[in-house]
Structure 1
Amino acid sequence: MREWLANPRKSKGLTHQQVADKVGIKRQYYGMIESGERTPSVTTAKRISEVLDLDWTIFFESKSNKMFLSQKQAI
């Protein structure tokens, strides 16, 4: 789960449905993004970031960090 995404949503008192509606995506898709199952497009990341007051690049930095760590552990 992406706590860095869930925590701001919860602190704003928003549900998955409310964020999805504001962003223009389906609730199920937003849930997959928040759980880490999916990475949004740049456009969607920017929209989510506007709603939750986040830096949109964190969606991609987090994935890169996970890939780096898994590659490092494999060595």
Structure 2
Amino acid sequence: MIPLVVVTGIFVVFPVLLFRHFAQRNAGKSQTSNGDAVGKDLIDLADRMEKRIDTLERLLDVEAPGWRERHHEQH
């Protein structure tokens, strides 16, 4: 009986535990690299939005002088 448990442990349980360990480790690495890419994309998006807002504010300054004062009075 003991040899059957030992053989099962060596050839079934141990490889399954190793597989799960390495699978979890690899999943953690891919999430970190994916998170870095998402972070860079968000920073790029924020920079583009900031440039667009600056452009819109400059256009409004020309087209509707005093819009800032009117807008701040409402809030």
Question: TM over 0.5: same fold?
Answer: no
More helix by share: 2
Question: Greater Rg, structure 1 or structure 2?
Answer: 2
Larger RCO (CA within 8 A; separation ≥ 6): 1
Q: Output the TM-score relative to the length of structure 2.
A: 0.29
